[in-house]
Amino acid sequence: MRGYAYASAPMGKSREIKKRMKAVGNIRRITKTMQMIATSKFARAQQRAVASKPYTNAMFDLVGKLASAAGDVSHPLIDAKPGADAKALTLVITSDRGLCGPYNGSILRKMMEHFRAAAEARDGVIELVGKKGLATLKFNKINVATHHTHFGDKPSYEDVEKLAQTYIDRFSRGEISSVKVVYMRFISVGKQAPEVKQLLPFVAEEAPKAAQGETKEQALPFEFSPSPKELMDTLLPAALKAALFQCFNDAIVSEHVARMVAMKAATDNAGKMGKRLSRAYNRARQAQITTELTEIISGAAALG
């Protein structure tokens, strides 16, 4: 009985290690598949984000130059006077699914920094995109006025345009004093940064001063046809809608990058753990074989 008890310990240990090896192997296959899916989605999302960025930048640059060159041009989306009860609106863009590393945590920390720096934002209207930020907002006792769940990981321009038009209408009527978006800005594959972007009121950059070598014709003021007011009525809403759509595209591609990196790290860790378990299993198996051989030799010696 003593010999059986002694031999059963390595046997039980090797079986346990074998089960763990199988579980780690299954996890590695799952994370590898998720990494490949995230890589595929990232490639498509990056194409959309990169393709729309030049248009968005050009629209904002054009509107900024128009507002600066027109001088005293006035527009409701630039200098609208909010009502007495108007509140700041903050749109927070998070993901619907997890397993994307520090993506949501970085956005939510940026959101809390923004709320601490601007009390009117915390007490204002909070709108949320995605499911992962809901628990944090509830934990911090921040009321969510609207939870947008229909955008998904491939938002259409039509849906974003409707949301942007809602903000434009509410701002023009004086119901809200400002619109800011907290999202993850996509800079490159290796760098993404959480950012608070102001959509409304639109802030035009100052017109650059004439360079020293600029000719007289280049320094002349612009002549507008149609009028600056008509141009602003068309270009400014289009620029704001494009900017909000760019925020969504940046958030989606950043999410896929974060998930791709997180799943690659998980796959690599599972591979390393599998190798360690394989070595431990071999040692346990060798100990078991040695014990069995010792028992056989001892039994043979006892018999004579």
Per residue in 158-185, pLDDT (tens digit) is 999 999 999 999 998 889 999 999 999 9
| Within a domain: 199 | yes
- Are 248 and 267 within one domain? no
- Are 169 and 190 within one domain? yes
At 210, the pLDDT band (50, 70, 90 cuts) reads: very low
**CATH number (domain holding residue 152):** 3.40.1380.10
- Are 191 and 285 within one domain? no
- Are 242 and 275 within one domain? no
Out of 71-85, 90-104, 196-210, pick the least confident. 196-210
Please give the distance of CA 167 from its chain centroid, rounded to a whole number: 22
Provide φ and ψ at 227, rounded to 5°.
-70, 155
Backbone dihedral region for residue 118 (phi beyond 0: left; psi -120 to 50: alpha; all else: beta):
beta
Residue 131: count other Cβ atoms within 10 Å of its Cβ: 15
**CATH number (domain holding residue 14):** 1.10.287.80
SS3 200: strand
What average pLDDT does range 62-88 have in this prediction? 75
Total count of domains within the chain: 2
pLDDT of 206: 45
- Are 240 and 287 within one domain? no
- CA atoms of 55 and 67, how far apart (whole Å): 18
Q: Do residues 99 and 267 lie in contact, with contact meaning Cβ atoms separated by under 8 Å? A: no
- CA atoms of 61 and 205, how far apart (whole Å): 8
Query: Which one, of 261, 116, 115, 240, lies nearest residue 182 by Cα?
Result: 115
- Are 19 and 91 within one domain? no
- Are 200 and 297 within one domain? no
- Are 97 and 172 within one domain? yes
Q: Do residues 44 and 203 lie in contact, with contact meaning Cβ atoms separated by under 8 Å? A: no
Please give the distance of CA 11 from its chain centroid, rounded to a whole number: 48
User: Domain containing 78: what range?
Assistant: 53-204+227-260
- Write the burial class of residue 260 (CB in 10 Å: 0-12 exposed, 13-18 middle, 19+ buried): buried
- Look at strands 146-148 and 87-93 and give their pairing: unpaired
pLDDT of 134: 92
pLDDT of 76: 79
What average pLDDT does range 105-124 have in this prediction? 93
Structure tokens of 136? Answer: 């944090």
Q: 104 or 81: which carries more pLDDT confidence?
A: 104
SS3 81: coil
pLDDT of 5: 42
Per-residue burial over 32-59, b = 16 or more CB atoms within 10 Å of its CB, e = otherwise: bebbeebeebbeebbebbeebeeebeeb
Q: Answer whether residue 113 shows pLDDT above 80.
A: yes
pTM (predicted TM-score) = 0.80
pLDDT by residue (tens digit) across 253-303? 999 999 999 999 999 999 999 899 888 888 888 888 888 788 888 877 777
- Are 135 and 268 within one domain? no
- CA atoms of 124 and 170, how far apart (whole Å): 14
Q: Taking the CA atoms of the chain, what radius of gyration do you get in angstroms?
A: 30
- CA atoms of 82 and 124, how far apart (whole Å): 13
- CA atoms of 195 and 118, how far apart (whole Å): 15
- Are 197 and 294 within one domain? no
- Are 280 and 255 within one domain? no
- Are 85 and 139 within one domain? yes
At 138, the pLDDT band (50, 70, 90 cuts) reads: very high
- CA atoms of 259 and 100, how far apart (whole Å): 4
Q: Answer whether residue 218 shows pLDDT above 80.
A: no
Mean pLDDT, all residues of the chain: 84
- CA atoms of 17 and 4, how far apart (whole Å): 20
| Within a domain: 9 | yes
